[in-house]
Structure 1
Amino acid sequence: MRFLLRPGWIALVVAVIGFAVAAFTLLAPWQFGREAQRDAQQQAIDAASTTAPVPLAELVPPGGSVTSAVEWRQVTVTGTYVPDGEGLVRLRVVDGQPAVEVLTPFRTDDGRLITVNRGSAAAASGATVPDYAAPPAGPVTLTGRLRLDETDPQGRAAIETDGHRQIYASDSRALAAATGLPLEPGFLQLTADQPGVLRPLEVAPTAGGDAPFTNFSYALQWITFGVIALVALGLFVRLELLQRRGPDRRSERAALRRALAGDDEPGPR
């Protein structure tokens, strides 16, 4: 097995074992974790869909923030929109077309400033900013779902385009930084038929709370790939051993034939 010490074989063994270790300890657990996270999220959505809305203060006290324990719960608030602090979330897609999400600050009757996601608006062909309806003026009562802030992985700052403030995630913190308003963390995602709603963001609870096992199947695939890589390495090593033993066995058989034929008898003295 000294051939395994050759550079080419060392590289192959290291690559295969490294891939298998990554598949078993990183990639498969990552997909299992995503499946568990997605299943928990779907269960929260399903539970919230069957729970009646409650006043915001019952789930998020003044000055508090939305937590994962109350995300997707439906709440009601009364107050007025603050359109001067509005921002657009860039780089969204609706029905395959470029779109934005519209975030509008909302001042509640008890003085809180929260962020309301009024839904999406698709841009016309060639337009950078779509036309969309302004929020209603005056006091209104809203019903929506509590959501955790999104995060822009690149941490990009807000920009101004065609007179509109634009950010890269549905994030009250980014909107607060761009406007200077003391917005509470998290946002309210409007449901259909609410004052000021545009095209509501889709939330589709599953029947019975069963989420598809997409990530679970991906995890099993990574485990399978790791096993296949190790088995293939073993087969390559065995094939190399058989090929190297072939010439030795032929030499042994030839020597045996010579011995049987008397070729190895000592010559005359």
Structure 2
Amino acid sequence: MRFLLRPGWIALTLAVAAFAFACYYLLAPWQFHRGDERDSVNAALARGVATAPVPRSDLVAPGTAPPAEAAWRQVVVTGTYRPEGEVLVRLRSVDGHPAMEVMTPLTTTAGETVLVDRGYVRTDSAGTLPPIPPPPGGTVTVTGYQRLDEGAPSRPMVVDDGRRQVYAANAAAVSEAGGVPASPGYLQLLPDQPGVITAVPLPPPDPNPSYSYAWQWLIFGLMAVGAWIYFARLEYRRARGLDPRPRRDDQDPRDAADGTPWDARPTSTEQKLADRYGRR
């Protein structure tokens, strides 16, 4: 087994070990985790559509972030829109087209301010915004999907077309940009609700191929180790002179019965040429 100490074999062994480690302890677990997350989102979507709306206070304590199990639940709030704190969320895509979502704070009758996603508007080819209708005045009751905050944006607020705009549907970022503090999370309005522009459609269920990818990484890791063992065995047998004779099925039909290759037999130049071109 001294051949394993050669530089080439050491490098190959380290590469195979690193690849197998990555497959079994990094890539496959990450895909299994992603699969669990996607299953949770799919289950939350199905539950949210199938469950009747409830008061938001039944699921979320005032001023706190909504729990994961509240995601996509249909909730009802009553209050007054605060258009002075309205902010747009940039770089959205709806049905494959660029869009912006309109976030407007709403102060409930209990005194809590929550962020409401009133829907989306599409920009033209030049990025110009269409007119955005203001929310209705007075007290309204709205129903929407309870959403969790997206991650905090990495870019600061911008002002374009006279509108304050941020890069994530994140209550803290919107509150800072709009100047109206709001509780974590936000409501995504259903169609035909007071103040809705064009309701953001529900995402389709995720087909979730992550589990298949995880098993593929496990198989790739096993194949890498198996290939290393196979080639190490070949090298070992070659070094010991233990290469097996070829199976009869693998021999040329012109070989001798004892396995001697046909072109190793002493023969005349004429016979070699005849054998090579199939002539007798």
Shared fold (TM-score greater than 0.5)? yes
Q: 1:132–1:232: structure 2 CA closer, same or farther, 3 Å change rule?
A: farther
Partner amino acid for 1:63?
G
Q: Cα distance 1:189–1:21, how it changes in 2: closer, same or farther (>3 A)? A: same
Change in 2 beyond 3 A, CA 1:191/1:235? same
Distance 1:43 1:248 in 2: 57
Paired residues of 1:27 and 1:222 also in contact (CA < 8 A): yes
Q: Which amino acid aligns with 2:165?
A: Q
In structure 1, the residue matched to 2:55 is 55
Residue 241 (structure 1) aligned with residue 240 (structure 2): no
* Per-residue deviation, 1:47: 2.1
Give the SS at the match of 2:145. strand
C-alpha distance in 1 between matches for 2:33 and 2:137: 45
Q: 2-side partners of 1:93 and 1:100: how far apart? A: 8
1:216 equivalent in alignment to 2:215: no
Larger RCO, structure (CA 8 Å, separation 6 or more): 1
- Aligned residue number for residue 263 of structure 1: none
Corresponding residue for 1:259? none
Structure 1: gaps (5+ residues): 250-269
Whether the aligned pair in 1 keeps the contact of 2:237 and 2:243 (CA below 8 Å) is no
Q: Give 1:232's aligned residue.
A: 227
Residue in 2 that maps onto 1:122: 122
Aligned 8 A contact 1:46 1:205 in 2: no
SS at match of 2:69: coil
Task: For 1:24-173, list aligned pairs within 5 A.
Answer: 24-152=24-152, 155-173=154-172
SS in 1 for 2:89: strand
Distance 1:198 1:242 in 2: 75
Q: How many Å separate the matches in 1 of 2:11 and 2:241?
A: 25
Measured against aligned partners, the alpha-carbon deviations of 1:45-91 in whole angstroms (never above 9, x if no partner) come to: 22222221112222223323311122221111122221221111122
User: Which string of whole-angstrom CA distances, capped at 9 and with x for unpartnered residues, describes residues 232-265 of structure 1?
Assistant: 222222333344344999xxxxxxxxxxxxxxxx
Q: What secondary structure does 2:71 align onto?
A: coil
Contact kept, 8 Å, 1:90 with 1:100, in 2: the verdict is: yes
Structure 2 segments unaligned to the other structure (5+ residues) = 245-280
Distance 1:238 1:120, change over 3 A: farther
What is the CA–CA distance in structure 2 between the aligned matches of 1:146 and 1:248, rounded to whole Å? 69
Tell me the distance in 2 between the aligned counterparts of 1:7 and 1:167: 54
TM-score by length of 1: 0.82
1:194 aligned residue: 193
What residue in structure 1 maps to residue 247 of structure 2? Answer: none
How many residues were matched structurally? Answer: 244
Distance in 2 between residues matched to 1:11 and 1:25, nearest whole Å: 21
Q: Normalised by the size of structure 2, how large is the TM-score?
A: 0.79
Given residue 42 of structure 1, which amino acid in structure 2 is its aligned partner? N
Partner of 1:257: none
Q: Quick one: distance in 2 between partners of 1:247 and 1:60?
A: 73
8 Å CA contact 2:38–2:208 kept in 1: the answer is no
Shift of the alpha carbon at 1:7?
Answer: 2.3
Contact 1:54 1:76 in 2 (8 A): yes
C-alpha distance in structure 2 between counterparts of 1:90 and 1:42, whole Å: 25
Over the aligned positions, Cα root-mean-square deviation in angstroms equals 2.3
- Worse-matched range after superposition: 113-122 or 142-151: 113-122
Paired-residue identity, %: 50
Q: Distance in 2 between matches of 1:130 and 1:220?
A: 48
C-alpha distance in 1, partners of 2:158/2:42? 34
